[in-house]
Amino acid sequence: MRALDTTIRNYHWGSRTALAALRGAPPSSSPEAELWVGAHPSAPSLLRGAGTPLDRYVAANPVGTLGREALAAFGPRLPFLLKVLAVETPLSLQVHPDREQARSGHAAGVFGDDRPKPEILVALTEFETLAGFRDPAETVVLLDSLGAAFGPLRDLVAAGDLRGALRWALHEPVDLVDPPAWLGSVAATYPGDPGVVAALLLNHVALRPGQGVYVAAGVPHAHLRGTGVELMADSDNVVRAGLTSKPVDVRMVLDLVESTPGLVLDGEEDGPLRTYPTPEPEFRLHAVSPGAVLHDRGPQLLLCVRGSVELARGGDRLVLSAGEAAFLPHGHKTSVAGDGRAYWATTGAAAG
């Protein structure tokens, strides 16, 4: 059981206050967008006191840290990455590859790694996102209300051609004069961006604290505002369609996009644990309250988000305050005490 020093990523869409408040720190001088907990080589957490990057620590003893089952399934690395996102202005409209697309794309030099990037986000505050295509009948009603300029888009949606509708939205210069209220911040942040019109096709999801949204590979999505805990496969493969100043690749987006909806999850409660199941083998996210006993299978991360929690494992004890995290290697059960709230990341197979 090792306490971690985590990494803050500064992106323009972040907040100067949300992650600072989580850590009990004063407001930041620049936007703080993501707090990373994990072993991704671009920003690995460090073992507190030793300064050893977590990816190197795992690689030095993969059997002891991961367990034989996770090592056989995912290789000598931590298969998931845990984050806290603080979204003050909208993120890009994007999709991620599935397993086979990531492998072939990496072999062709298109993707930086050979892994898929499905995700789940659980809201810490009220959280708004666009996730997956909206029900076509509802989208037709919306587009009818916007006028004749959106007639071709409306007809594609009515015919069930959602990929064709997305292609039209990303290629046709149409001015959205009076956007729906939920789209106002996006239109104001990215005036004239074709991603604004594409957003009309997507499902607007408003999460309460404790609710989650699962975004599978190929699901178009864009987070709009709020703070949440996000868990994903340990990958950085992102393809953007719009709502960004970064490079976009509409052709690849259209190759990758799927009509699978984003799935809203309330979680499954079992005493002091609330689990958010997904079909992904790489990860499973759980909300943890004091009194929980965490299983001993596979590698695990635990992040305290409120108050403090005391972890007891194999004779060792560790206290984490809000914003602090720990790596729990394979092999020992962990009991949780204190007055706080935490999120626990495991592999999907170990949680099953």
Mean pLDDT for the stretch of residues 246-256: 96
pLDDT band at residue 196 using 50, 70 and 90 as cut-offs: very high
Mean pLDDT for the stretch of residues 97-122: 96
Mean pLDDT of the chain: 96
Please report the pLDDT score of residue 177 as a whole number: 86
Please report the pLDDT score of residue 125 as a whole number: 98
Please report the pLDDT score of residue 173 as a whole number: 84
pTM of the entire structure?
A: 0.96
Mean pLDDT for the stretch of residues 76-95: 97
Mean pLDDT for the stretch of residues 166-193: 93
Mean pLDDT for the stretch of residues 95-111: 96
Please report the pLDDT score of residue 239 as a whole number: 97
User: For residues 74 and 338, is the Cβ–Cβ distance under 8 A?
Assistant: no
What amino acid is encoded at 330 in this protein?
H
CA–CA gap between residue 214 and residue 279 (Å, rounded): 10
Sheet holding 325-328, edge to edge: 46-47, 2-5, 325-328, 300-306, 341-346, 284-288, 273-276, 268-270
pLDDT band at residue 351 using 50, 70 and 90 as cut-offs: low
Q: Could you tell me which residues come within 8 angstroms of residue 3 by beta carbon, excluding any fewer than 6 positions away?
A: 47, 48, 49, 318, 320, 324, 325, 326
Q: Residue 183 is encoded by which pair of tokens? A: 């789209």
Please report the pLDDT score of residue 352 as a whole number: 47
**SS3 category, 179:** coil
- 137, containing H or E segment: helix 136-145
CA–CA gap between residue 258 and residue 216 (Å, rounded): 9
Residue reference for tokens 């992106």: 11
Q: Return the bridge partners of 276, or none.
A: 285
CA–CA gap between residue 349 and residue 344 (Å, rounded): 14
What amino acid is encoded at 235 in this protein?
S
- 330, containing H or E segment: none
User: For residues 226 and 17, is the Cβ–Cβ distance under 8 A?
Assistant: no
Is the pLDDT at 349 greater than 80? The verdict is no
CA–CA gap between residue 201 and residue 95 (Å, rounded): 14
Residue reference for tokens 């995700």: 119
Is the pLDDT at 91 greater than 80? The verdict is yes
